C-alpha cells in the first residue's frame, strides 16, 4: 500500500472514531462538563465533511484556504480545551481556578506576540500569516505536552486519577502534540520526508482519538474531591482577597500585575 493510500485511510478513520465520541458524550450529558471539547469533536466532523470533498474535487487554492481556516479554528479550540481541563482539575479550588484563568489569558497574549516577533524578524518567510499560525500551533503543542507532564507529576498531590475523563482528554492531546513536535524536529533536521511526517502525524492524531473514545465510553461523570495540599494553596490565595468579593479573584490578580508593572516603570525612571 502506497503512502497516499495510507494517509487517506488514516484521514477517513478520524471522523469514524470521533463520531462515537460526540455521540456518547451527548447521550451521557458529558458535554456539560466539557463543552469546548465536545464542540471540538463536532467541529472536526464538520471540517472533514468540507475538507475531504474540497481536497478531491476543488483546486489547490480552495483547499489551501479551507485548511488554514480550519487550522485557525482548531488552534483556538485547542487552547480553550487546555483551559477547560485545567478548570476541571481545579474545580474544588476557586482561587486556583481564577489564578489559572488569568495566567492563561497572559499565556495566550505572549504566544501571539512571540509568533509576530519571530515572523517579523525572519524575512525568508514569504507567507507571514501562515507561519504565524504555525508558530502559534507549535506553542500550543508545547503547552499541551507540558500539561500532560504536569498531570503525571502532580496527579497524586491533586488526587487526579488516571481514570478521570479530563486526564484522558489531556493524554490524547499530549500524544498528538508530542508526535507533531518530534516529526517537526526530524523534518527540520532533514532526517525524514514530508510524506512520512504526514503519515506519522495522522497516526498520532488517530491514536489520540482512540484514547478519547476509550475514556468517553469507559468513564462516568464524577465530582472532584478537595485534597489537603492544593486546599492550603487555595485558602492562602483566598486570604488575600476580601470575603465580600469571593466570587472571582481575576480582578485582584490583574490589579496585582498592573501594580507590578507600575513599580517597575517607576524604578527605571
Q: Cβ distance 208 to 176 under 8 Å?
A: yes
In this structure, what C-alpha cell is assigned to residue 182? 518530534
Question: What single string gives the DSSP state of each residue in 96-134?
Answer: HHHHHHHHHHHHHHHHHHHHHHHHHT-TT-S-HHHHHHH
- Domain locations in the chain? 3-242
Dist CA 212 CA 217 (whole Å): 9
- What pLDDT does residue 141 have? 84
Which tens digits make up the pLDDT trace of 192-245? 888 888 899 999 999 999 999 999 998 755 544 444 445 555 555 555 554 434
Which tens digits make up the pLDDT trace of 101-145? 666 666 667 766 665 665 555 544 556 666 667 777 777 888 788
Dist CA 185 CA 191 (whole Å): 9
- Whole-prediction pTM value? 0.74
Q: Could you tell me which residue, 98 or 209, shows the higher pLDDT?
A: 209
Amino acid at each position: 500500500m502506497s503512502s497516499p493510500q495510507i494517509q487517506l485511510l488514516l484521514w477517513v478513520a478520524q471522523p469514524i472514531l470521533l463520531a462515537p465520541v460526540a455521540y456518547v458524550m451527548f447521550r451521557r450529558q458529558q458535554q456539560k462538563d466539557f463543552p469546548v471539547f465536545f464542540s471540538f469533536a463536532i467541529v472536526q466532523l464538520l471540517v472533514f465533511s468540507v475538507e475531504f470533498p474540497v481536497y478531491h474535487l476543488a483546486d489547490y487554492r480552495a483547499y489551501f484556504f479551507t485548511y488554514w481556516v480550519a487550522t485557525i479554528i482548531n488552534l483556538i479550540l485547542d487552547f480553550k480545551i487546555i483551559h477547560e481541563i485545567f478548570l476541571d482539575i481545579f474545580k474544588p479550588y476557586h482561587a486556583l481556578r481564577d489564578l489559572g484563568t488569568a495566567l492563561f489569558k497572559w499565556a495566550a497574549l505572549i504566544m501571539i506576540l512571540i509568533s509576530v516577533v519571530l515572523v517579523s524578524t525572519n524575512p525568508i518567510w514569504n507567507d507571514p500569516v501562515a507561519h504565524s499560525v504555525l508558530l502559534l500551533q507549535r506553542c500550543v503543542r508545547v503547552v499541551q505536552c507540558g500539561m500532560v507532564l504536569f498531570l503525571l507529576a502532580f496527579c497524586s498531590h491533586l488526587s487526579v486519577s488516571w481514570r478521570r475523563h479530563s486526564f484522558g482528554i489531556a493524554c490524547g492531546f499530549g500524544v498528538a502534540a508530542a508526535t507533531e513536535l518530534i516529526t517537526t524536529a526530524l523534518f527540520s533536521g532533514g532526517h525524514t520526508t514530508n510524506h512520512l511526517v504526514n503519515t506519522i502525524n495522522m497516526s498520532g492524531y488517530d491514536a489520540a482519538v482512540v484514547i478519547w473514545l476509550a475514556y468517553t465510553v469507559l468513564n462516568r461523570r464524577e465530582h472532584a474531591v478537595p485534597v489537603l495540599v492544593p486546599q492550603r494553596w487555595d485558602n492562602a490565595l483566598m486570604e488575600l482577597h476580601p470575603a465580600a468579593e469571593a466570587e472571582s479573584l481575576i480582578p485582584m490578580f490583574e490589579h496585582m500585575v498592573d501594580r507590578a508593572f507600575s513599580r517597575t516603570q517607576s524604578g527605571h525612571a
